[in-house]
Amino acid sequence: MGREPSTNGQARDDERPVSANDGPPALDPDEAAIYVDGLAKTFGSGEDAVTAVEDVSLAVAPGEVVGLLGPNGAGKTTTIKSVLGLILPDAGTVRVHGIDVHANPRAAYEYVDAMLEGARNDYWRLTVRENLRYFAAIRGQDPDAVADRHEELLDHLDLAAKADTAVRDLSRGMKQKVSLASVLAGDISVAFLDEPTLGLDIESSLKLRTELRRLAEERGLTLVISSHDMDVIEDVCDRVIIMNEGRVVVDDTVEDLLAGFETRGYRITARGGSETALADLEDRFDLTDVQHTGDRLRFEVAADTATFYRLTDAMEAHDLDVASVETVQPDLAEVFVEMTNGTADPGGTSEEDGSTTREAPANRSPASERGDRR
Amino acid sequence: MTAAAGDDRREGDGPGDAGGPSQFTDPERTGGYAHLLKAVVYRDLLIWVRYPLNAALGIFMGVFFFALMFYGGTMVAGQAFSDSIEGLIIGYFLWTLAIGAYSGIMNDIQSEASWGTLERHFMTPFGFGPVVVAKSIAIVFRTFMTSAVVLVVMLLITGTTLDLNLVTVLPVATLTIAGALGLGLVMGGLSVLYKRISNVANLLQFAFIGLISAPVFDIPWARFLPLAQGSAMLQRAMRDGVRLWEFDPLTITVLVGTSVGYLALGYAIFGLTTRRARRLGVLGDY
């Protein structure tokens, strides 16, 4: 248990590396809503042993919304279930609001619940309201005493009109919302949501995202959302944790994570110049998507700040007038793929601990210098 | 009674106590064990009535098999069979109770695991134990209702009368099927761990017939088997009109001891299997 968990995004220093498993913690175990330190789990033994998670450390502040991403087999589910006490880890400390989940689960479960099975998280033969009452009761609530709060919850999730309908008669998206409602019915402060928007149409998904943000901001609900829908993560989450091969490879705010990739390229439109000029530029720089029509030249180029300025100098030397420069900005999905495919390493991986480090992007991006972030 | 797990909470457990930046306040617990029990029993009954065909078929099959035995036995053995009909009815009634409790809790755990709701029952401030106990009570309650219907129909079919002193029959029958409940918990735990165990589970149902008809008066150690002592006492209570307080203390002690013992053993094994399932990461997987 040597290392402390990574910092949470709220207290991030701009110079801090993107990775988890490094840097001083911004939260101590008692301050964090979720605190995981040195979590490890291997399934099986001998040649059949599979390491699901290895030395995972993270901390989530109360009221923070964190997205947990990773390809299949990255260790997300094992991490979540270990935090919830549903899997017994081989090593590591897990605390919810300072309470050791494995030593004192009943006290920890006062605060935490999870939607792990999507729409199969509740009983389809019961009505929406019956589900809410049941799950509130098994979480220590008198269903009658919290009926008003349940009505409010149904209203916010657009389920009020279907409150007395059996869940099995609802659409897939509605079932998903009932599942979420049944988790929130128990007055919790920490919720793990696995694919909360799965099966929702665009409008419902947007509404749910708004509701999740509202719950975090108004009720101080701490949310950990595991999803393959990058739009949800981007819209709802304050911070993203990306796991790969059982480790946390990225732990950063969504904004900074995206900003860190802004400098990967520029889309430049210029006027003038000749084929010779273009050939020279192609020879010296990594130009892609080149379109040369008449007087108009358009291309993309992968470049850091210094390269960008060398390129503009070269264009000037060839009498090319720069008409426009756009940063080529990836979305979270592209960042995710780049961070987990094992081929692109934005800053290098420490051989000792597997942590990824990267220069703080805000300091090297011309786009950032111009305040040109999206 | 409030705050299910409140007793376990330490000073400073809550986020507010930790002095963190949360705007969150401690969850307010307004319910207790009574609400848990009520909710679990109500849910069990709701699910049961919302599969009406399944519920009706369960009762029908119970009556049908008895009718088959009764008319078949009468045709083959005639008066000799009719003379022992009271014992058959009581034994069959107890068998339906035992099967209901055993398969009820086993199937409940298995279906919760396969459906995806078992883990939610694990993550309650009450702890998994009280939830499982509440489920067991719900299942015993429902089983008594269905078995009572089967018993009434059996009495009507055969024109037999039995002494149904509830003060005697209910506690003896409840204690008797507690052993079956314990076996159901064992099989439920094994199903969480090994998933498909229906062949073994079904086999055990037939073993109940042997346990219910075990000759405890001829073979003294047989009374320590599950169901055996209670079955013998129920026969005397319903056929001979023996009241609960008329049984000798040793007989009652053996009944209570075996019932509580098998139930506790079943619960302990269930706890071990679910812990093992958590170790293997298969608690909610099916």
Scanning B195-248, the segments in alpha helix (DSSP H) are 198-212, 228-240
Beta carbons of B31 and A143 less than 8 Å apart: yes
Partner-chain residue, chosen from B8, B21, B39, that has the shortest CB–CB distance to A133 = B39
Q: Is B20 exposed, middle or buried (0-12, 13-18, 19+ CB in 10 A)?
A: buried
B243 — contact with chain A (CB < 8 Å)?
Answer: no
Predicted pLDDT of residue A264: 61
Write down the pLDDT at residue A340.
Answer: 67
Q: Are A184 and A115 in contact (CB under 8 A)?
A: no
B28/A contact by beta carbon, under 8 A: yes
More confident residue, A354 or B91: B91
Mean pLDDT, rounded, for B35-42: 96
B208 in Cβ contact with B102 (< 8 Å): yes
pLDDT in tens, A201-224: 888 888 888 888 888 888 889 999
Q: Give CA–CA dist B14/A107, Å, rounded.
A: 10
Interface contact B31-A145, CB threshold 8 A: yes
Query: So what's the pLDDT on residue A173?
Result: 84
Instruction: Report pLDDT for A111.
Output: 93
Angle subtended at Cα B102 by Cα B99 and Cα B104, rounded to the nearest 5 degrees: 95
- Does position A324 have pLDDT exceeding 70, yes or no? yes
Q: Which residues of B touch A30 (CB under 8 A)?
A: 12, 18-20
User: What per-residue confidence (pLDDT) applies to A84?
Assistant: 94
Which residues have CB under 8 Å from A170's CB, separation 6+? A128, A162, A178
CB A251 within 8 A of CB A339: no
The ipTM value here is 0.85
Given a cut of 60, whether residue B81 has pLDDT beyond it is yes
Closest residue, chain B, to A115 (C-alpha): B120
User: A187 and B279: CB-CB below 8 Å?
Assistant: no
Contact at CB, A84 and B123, closer than 8 angstroms: yes
B123 CB neighbours in chain A (<8 A) are 84-86, 109, 112-114
Rg (CA), chain B: 22
CB within 8 Å: B283 and A137: no
Split at pLDDT 50, 70, 90, the class of A338 is low
> What single DSSP character describes residue A157?
T
B25 — phi, psi (to 5°)? -110, 160
pLDDT at B26: 67
A310: tokens are 């060398």
Give the pLDDT of residue B5: 40
Chain A with chain B: Cβ pairs closer than 8 A: 191
Query: With an 8 Å Cβ cutoff, are B279 and A88 in contact?
Result: yes
**Of A332, A314, A329, the residue nearest A368 (C-alpha):** A329
Q: What is the pLDDT of residue A364?
A: 28
State residue A187's pLDDT score. 85
Confidence label for A371 from pLDDT (cuts 50, 70 and 90): very low
What is the pLDDT averaged over residues A318-347? 66
Window 104-143 of B: residues touching A by CB (8 A cutoff) are 115-117, 119-127, 131
Nearest residue in B to A78, CA atom: B281
B-chain CB neighbours of A189 within 8 Å are: 15, 22, 24, 27
Query: B82, exposed or middle or buried, with CB in 10 Å at 0-12, 13-18, 19+?
Result: middle
SS (H, E, C) A296-351: EEEEEECCCHHHHHHHHHHHHHCCCEEEEEEECCCCHHHHHHHHHCCCCCCCCECC
Q: CA–CA separation, B47 vs B91, rounded Å?
A: 28
Looking at the partner chain, which of A62, A111, A141 has a beta carbon nearest the beta carbon of B30?
A141
Give tens-digit pLDDT for A13-51. 333 334 444 443 457 777 899 999 999 999 988 888 999
Q: What is the mean pLDDT of residues B44-69?
A: 91
B38 interfaces chain A, CB cutoff of 8 Å: yes
Cβ–Cβ below 8 Å for B124 and A126: no
B9: contact with A, CB 8 A cutoff = yes
Percent of all residues in chain B with a pLDDT value above 70, rounded to a whole number: 90
Of all residues in chain A, the percent with pLDDT exceeding 70 is 79
Q: Which of A181, A142, A146, A143 is nearest to A160 (CA)?
A: A181
Mean pLDDT of B166-194: 92
pLDDT band at A252 (very low <50, low <70, confident <90, very high): confident
Establish if B11 touches chain A: CB-CB under 8 angstroms: no
Q: Which among A33, A107, A133 is the nearest to B13, CB-wise?
A: A107
Residues of chain A with Cβ-Cβ distance to B9 below 8 Å are 107, 110
What token pair was written down for A210?
């708004």
Q: Which pLDDT score is estimated for B25?
A: 58
Per-residue model confidence (pLDDT) at position B148: 93
Contact assignment for B123 to A112 by CB distance below 8 Å = yes
Alpha carbon of A164: minimum distance to chain B alpha carbons (Å): 14
Residue type, A62: P
Task: List the single residue in A with minimal CA-CA distance to B49.
Answer: A125
Give B201-257 pLDDT, tens digit per residue.
888 888 898 999 888 888 889 999 999 999 999 999 998 889 999 999 999 999 999
Considering only CB atoms, B124 lies closest to which of A32, A109, A122, namely: A109
Q: What value does the mean pLDDT take over residues A144-169?
A: 93
Say whether residue B33 is in contact with chain A using an 8 A CB cutoff. no
Positive or negative, the CA dihedral A110, A116, A118, A119 is: negative
Sign of CA dihedral A251, A252, A258, A261: negative
Contact A88 B275 (CB under 8 A): yes
User: In what helix (H) or strand (E) does residue A12 lie, and over which residues does it extend?
Assistant: none
> A116: which chain B residues are within 8 Å (Cβ-Cβ)?
116, 119, 284
How is chain B split into domains, by residue range?
Answer: 31-279
- Residue of A43, A97, A115, A192 to mutate, interface with B, max B Cβ within 10 Å: A97
CA dist B104 and B99 (Å) reads 8
CA A126 to chain centre: 33
Average pLDDT, chain B: 86
In angstroms, rounded to a whole number, what is the distance separating the alpha carbons of residues A187 and A194? 19
